[in-house]
Amino acid sequence: YSCSKYITFAVLLANVVASNAVIAASRMPGSAPVSYLGPWPKDVGIIALELYFPSQYVDQTELEEFDGVPAGKYTVGLGQARMGFCSDREDINSLCLTVVQRLMEKNALSYNSIGRLEVGTETIIDKSKSVKTALMQLFENSGNTDVEGIDSTNACYGGTAALFNAVNWVESSSWDGRYALVVAGDIAVYATGSARPTGGAGAVAILIGPNAPLAFERGLRGTHMQHAYDFYKPDMVSEYPVVDGKLSIQCYLSALDRCYSVYRNKIHAQWQREGSDKSFSLEDFGFLVFHSPYCKLVQKSLARLMLNDFLNHPSPNTETGPFTGLEAFRYSQSKPEDTYFDRDVEKAFMKASTDMFERKTKASLLISNQNGNMYTPSVYGCLASLIAQHTPSQMAGQRIGVFSYGSGFAATLYSLRVTQDHIPGSSLDKLVLSLSDLKTRLDSRKKVSPALFSENMKLREDTHHLANYVPQGSVEDLFPGTWYLTRVDDKHRREYARRPLDDDLPAESERVRSSSATEVQEE
């Protein structure tokens, strides 16, 4: 009897194994349940973040007068105060060289510690050679050439695409234990006209790894991708884009609606698996940051998300609280997609979201307001601004919603979870401390007259992509430690030098050249 029992058990076990094998064989790739997945590094996310913006700016109030537009058009209508810009001494390579070296030096990192380097940009100076290859010049002294990654391009979304690739690499079987480094940089310039005050320039470097103070929440991304000609750059010899302003706003807001809907559905599903029937709303975000073409659009975007919460709530309280007096909009015959330019809806929900904007989003607009639109680094400049203006204890444990948008168009809403550990010396404390000088750096810039700004834009326009060109801009006006363009030779190869961190040193203490065998030499 005992022998028979074990034989029966063995047969049953064999049948179960065979059945599971059949199920596994019939399952589509990637459809394995979460419980079948192997381990991955814990809390992969942002460990360090460094930001670079130009050393000169134009005042938007003065630009209004210079352009002959009504007072307040740029400052009130767009929400912009100052706009940073680059002379012909800076290009996309120099911006990215500067921000990478700043991050590495500030965090005392070895270039051997980087295993992936990826760039997001739409500022193209070469149709083949990537910005990432130019940045590899910084790695030469270390001997580290085993660095994966390349450039990602799609308007202002390229930086986020590069960031996701870096996070995925750390969480994958390809990871070798080293950090990933993401660089987003752009020079946003427009032809003379109504779009010019929405320009800006800058770069951000983001260090990615495990046990991060700002960890990506797994599975919580809402993405929307669609075809549109809202903003694009078909002229290969010009820095200027073609812009359909109204369509661009419509695309941005429609992408925001759809990304929020997908994100909300995913977090609901996650909570249900955990046994919770709680409904998600904007109050479940501690902070919200957005891609910021200009500050007023961000304020309108938060109002738009509140409209989404209002319309999706089964029975919103319109007697007290943020939805007070909004009952008429609940029974409007208009579809949500018909309200992008509805002034009554916009005004009502901007007013309703005022308190939330003050608490969750306003602090993120420091860089955007003072430096303008940086394209791919824009949303990460907003993240840096948020961190710089809060203490570690205020940030600890918060969920940060991040909305990234790129014309054409591509968008994602995702979330970061801030670590609870905020004691002095913690990774969060170090991150906050590293960004604490943002206001001081902004205030140390040089104000330039609108006339001189206009001359700089004309010089960039006339000399863009010229061979045998020696830049005319002043090196002394650059921040210490800034990389800058020294010349473009007859084969369009670009040479760079770095302004010393110590102003007492000679002006060109380091040089690099973007050629087939680049060099870093001390003079």
In whole numbers, what is the pLDDT of the chain averaged over residues? 89
275 or 332, higher pLDDT: 275
Q: What is the pLDDT of residue 520?
A: 33
Q: What is the pLDDT of residue 137?
A: 97
29 or 319, higher pLDDT: 319
Q: Which residues are annotated as a binding site?
A: 248, 296, 300
- 513 exposed, middle or buried (CB, 10 Å; 0-12, 13-18, 19+)? buried
Interatomic CA distance for residues 167 and 214, integer angstroms: 12
Which of 103-107, 380-384, 489-493, 516-520 has the least mean pLDDT?
A: 516-520
Q: What is the pTM of this model?
A: 0.88
Q: How many CB atoms lie within 10 A of CB 296?
A: 16
Q: What is the pLDDT of residue 502?
A: 75
- Give the residue-averaged pLDDT of 409-428: 96
**Token pair listed for 51:** 């930001």
- 479 exposed, middle or buried (CB, 10 Å; 0-12, 13-18, 19+)? middle
Among 50, 64, 122, 148, which one carries the catalytic annotation? Answer: 122
Q: What is the pLDDT of residue 503?
A: 57
Pick the CATH number of 38-504 from 3.40.47.10, 2.40.37.10, 2.70.210.12, 3.40.720.10: 3.40.47.10
Interatomic CA distance for residues 409 and 7, integer angstroms: 62
Interatomic CA distance for residues 180 and 379, integer angstroms: 19
Asked if 156 is an active-site residue, the reply is: yes
Work out the percent of the chain whose per-residue pLDDT is above 70.
89
Interatomic CA distance for residues 68 and 467, integer angstroms: 36
**With contact defined as beta carbons under 8 Å apart, do 190 and 67 qualify?**
no
The DSSP secondary-structure symbol of 156 reads B
Interatomic CA distance for residues 194 and 474, integer angstroms: 28
Which of 394-408, 459-473, 492-506, 507-521 has the least mean pLDDT?
A: 507-521
Q: What is the pLDDT of residue 6?
A: 40
Please check the confidence at residue 399 and state whether its pLDDT lies above 70: yes
Q: What is the pLDDT of residue 510?
A: 52
Please check the confidence at residue 16 and state whether its pLDDT lies above 80: no
Q: What is the pLDDT of residue 117?
A: 98
Please check the confidence at residue 13 and state whether its pLDDT lies above 70: no
Q: What is the pLDDT of residue 12?
A: 42
Q: Which residues are annotated as a binding site for CoA?
A: 248, 296, 300
Q: What is the pLDDT of residue 109?
A: 96
Quick one: angle between helices 295-312 and 343-352, nearest 10?
90
Please check the confidence at residue 212 and state whether its pLDDT lies above 90: yes
Q: What is the pLDDT of residue 247?
A: 95
307-321, 357-371, 455-469 — most confident range: 357-371
**With contact defined as beta carbons under 8 Å apart, do 359 and 286 qualify?**
no
Interatomic CA distance for residues 79 and 72, integer angstroms: 9
Asked if 291 is an active-site residue, the reply is: yes
Report residue 335's pLDDT band, with 50, 70 and 90 as the boundaries.
Answer: confident
Report residue 512's pLDDT band, with 50, 70 and 90 as the boundaries.
Answer: low
Asked if 461 is an active-site residue, the reply is: no
Report residue 519's pLDDT band, with 50, 70 and 90 as the boundaries.
Answer: very low
Q: What is the pLDDT of residue 511?
A: 54
Among 239, 259, 291, 295, which one carries the catalytic annotation? Answer: 291
Which of 9-13, 245-249, 311-315, 481-485 has the least mean pLDDT?
A: 9-13
- Give the residue-averaged pLDDT of 48-65: 97
Among 86, 96, 156, 382, which one carries the catalytic annotation? Answer: 156
Report residue 10's pLDDT band, with 50, 70 and 90 as the boundaries.
Answer: very low
Q: What is the pLDDT of residue 237?
A: 86
Cβ contacts of 166 within 8 Å, gap of 6 or more: 116, 118, 149, 180, 181, 182, 206, 208
Please check the confidence at residue 4 and state whether its pLDDT lies above 60: no
pLDDT tens, residue by residue, 138-197 = 999 999 999 999 999 999 999 999 999 999 999 999 999 999 999 999 999 999 988 999
Which of 143-157, 270-284, 388-402, 507-521 has the least mean pLDDT?
A: 507-521
Return the domain boundaries, the chain: 38-504
337 or 514, higher pLDDT: 337
- Give the residue-averaged pLDDT of 15-22: 42
SS3 category, 27: coil
Please check the confidence at residue 200 and state whether its pLDDT lies above 60: yes
Interatomic CA distance for residues 33 and 24, integer angstroms: 11
